[in-house]
Amino acid sequence: MTFLKRFTPMFLIALIGVLCLSGCTDISKSSKYETHKLTYLVNTTNVEEDLDIHLEDLKNTILQRVRDFQAANVSAQLSEEDGKHYLTVELGTIDPIEEIQRAIEQDTSFILKKQFNDESDYKEELRTKAETVLQKLKDGADFETTAQNAVLEDPSRIVYIHGDYMYRDEIIDVFAEELFSMEPGSINEELIEYTDQPSPLAPPIGVLSIVKLFDKKEVERVIEYEKEVEVSHILIAYEGAMRAADTITRTKEEARELANELVEKINSGEDFATLAREYSDDLSNNQKGGVLDLPAGQGTYVEQFENAALTLEEEGELAPVTETPFGYHLIQARTVTPATEEKSMEEQVKFGVLFFALTPAEWELLDFNGETLSSVEIRYDDSYDPYLVLHFTPEGASSIKTITEENMKKVLGIFLGKELVTSFTVKEVNEEGNFTILKPASSQEADMLQKAFLTDPLPLPIILQESEQI
């Protein structure tokens, strides 16, 4: 589910943010050094005692995650406003702030689940849950903590996204229509229902959503339009060039000579279109005088062709003979549209969306304490392929034995937070009290998984409120 156009994350991409994967360079020597401030709302609704201790643990955990990166002048400050707790992190870095943000927010809690086989009416279940949450919000419950608590109950089907300021054309229509008619601080009165397709290969799914508009403002928007050049071309191919017809037997040198001869003909006044019909090896357009349907400047053509076409400044101008993998090209401008800049005052909205995906619940949480994980060992098989062995305390080992006894021939899944790491069918009682994760793709992936399993989970859930470059 998304209100953007469009993004789908993968598990290992998320893990990259948790780990420092490459060598470091001197921050003071980098021109990309930037200072950032990240502000998080801390979800404290389930904390009944020792709140100050939990908040301090959260701050220290986040500071440790940031220090895995090339960060300088790192600080973290806790604050309270209107009964809500916030954590503000400031740092200077040459690393992409998006990676650091993923590292801060990554949920590394060890969770054990079993595959869910209940055939109940999940759509009605999700609709009831969404309506209940909407009513709570109408009754005055805090939007973001309520949204995150809903996610924590069912992370595979419920997602919350706190968006930054966006223009209307950056938001899919079903949300844009609602948001730009709302007043700041308000939520939609009815559930917004639509169909989403996360990828072309995935089946469409129904989605229910709740939207809150945090703020609306009018700003000057600058839209830059790149230069475009509509062109005609003549292709002189040679034997062995990409997509060259079997009938082409000229050598590369002969092709270059012919291209130069055609340049001379054009410069002496002969018609480009007539020469294209006679000589061009591009059969898709030679009988149209070499006219190409799409302009250069949109990345439509190979780099060498685009670069040559964009040097042209006026109608009828001829670019130098240009070589591409297809052969030699003569490129002539038909129309030239210079780069332009358009300024206008437009509204932006800042908002949050809580999504309920109308899909069956795939996994059911098992009663297992992930804090009993004691160590993660990387081993190698006879082919030197890596695998991981997860060891647990005696309490955890005993729980694993009981769980496998009770779930014979069922599928169990090992999760880090809401991300599935691996799944397996229980074929025998696990007497040893450990889990084996077979065949990571590489030693690097094994190292990443090991470090992720051993990364302390966040003591409290957090929600990003604002990311800004200082």
Residue boundaries of the structural domains of the chain: 11-108+458-469, 117-224+343-361, 227-337, 365-454
Contacts of 362 (CB under 8 A, 6+ apart): 115, 116, 156
Measure the CA–CA gap between 83 and 145, rounded to whole angstroms.
12
Residue 34 has pLDDT above 70, yes or no: yes
* Lowest-pLDDT choice from 10-14, 242-246, 395-399: 10-14
Percent pLDDT > 90 in the chain is: 75
Residue 10 has pLDDT above 50, yes or no: no
More confident call, 254 vs 152: 254
- Band the pLDDT of 216: cuts 50, 70, 90: very high
- Band the pLDDT of 119: cuts 50, 70, 90: low
3-state secondary structure of 249: coil
| Residue in 212, 320, 300 with CA at minimum distance from that of residue 256 | 320
Mean pLDDT of the chain: 89
Measure the CA–CA gap between 396 and 377, rounded to whole angstroms.
16
Q: Where do the DSSP E strands lie in 360-401? A: 363-365, 373-380, 386-392
pLDDT, position 362: 87
Cα torsion through 298, 303, 306, 310, rounded to 10? 100
Measure the CA–CA gap between 440 and 456, rounded to whole angstroms.
22
CATH fold of the domain at 11-108+458-469 = Alpha-Beta Plaits (3.30.70)
pLDDT, position 31: 52
Cα torsion through 318, 323, 329, 330, rounded to 10? 20
| Residue in 405, 441, 434, 410 with CA at minimum distance from that of residue 424 | 410
CB 336 within 8 A of CB 312: yes
3-state secondary structure of 438: coil
Residue 312 has pLDDT above 60, yes or no: yes
Dump pLDDT digits (tens) for 101-113: 999 999 899 999 9
CB 439 within 8 A of CB 34: no
Q: Please report, as a single letter, which amino acid is at residue 110.
A: F
Q: What mean pLDDT is predicted for residues 450-458? A: 92
Distances (CA, A) of 118 to 121, 153, 360, 361, 427: 9, 17, 9, 8, 21
CB 449 within 8 A of CB 108: no
CB 108 within 8 A of CB 15: no
Q: Please report, as a single letter, which amino acid is at residue 149.
A: N
pLDDT, position 383: 87
**Chain centre distance of CA 16:** 12
Q: What mean pLDDT is predicted for residues 186-207? A: 88
Measure the CA–CA gap between 328 and 256, rounded to whole angstroms.
7
Q: What mean pLDDT is predicted for residues 338-355? A: 94
Q: Where do the DSSP E strands lie in 3-83? A: 34-42, 71-81
CB 194 within 8 A of CB 181: no
User: What does pTM read for this prediction?
Assistant: 0.65
Measure the CA–CA gap between 30 and 33, rounded to whole angstroms.
6
Task: Give the CATH class of 227-337.
Answer: alpha beta
pLDDT, position 11: 36
More confident call, 298 vs 252: 252
Written as six digits, the tokens of 201 are: 């290969």
Domain 365-454 bears CATH identifier 3.30.1360.200: yes
Question: 9: how many CB neighbours lie within 10 A of its CB?
Answer: 9
Q: What mean pLDDT is predicted for residues 148-174? A: 91
Question: 310: how many CB neighbours lie within 10 A of its CB?
Answer: 20
For tokens 């898709």, the residue is 284
- Band the pLDDT of 39: cuts 50, 70, 90: very high
DSSP conformation letters of 312-370:
--STT-BPPPEEETTEEEEEEEEEEE--EEEEEEEEEEEEEEEEEE-S---EEE-S--G
Residue 242, CA atoms < 13 Å, CB-side half-sphere:
7
pLDDT, position 70: 80
Residue 20 has pLDDT above 80, yes or no: no
Measure the CA–CA gap between 351 and 210, rounded to whole angstroms.
11
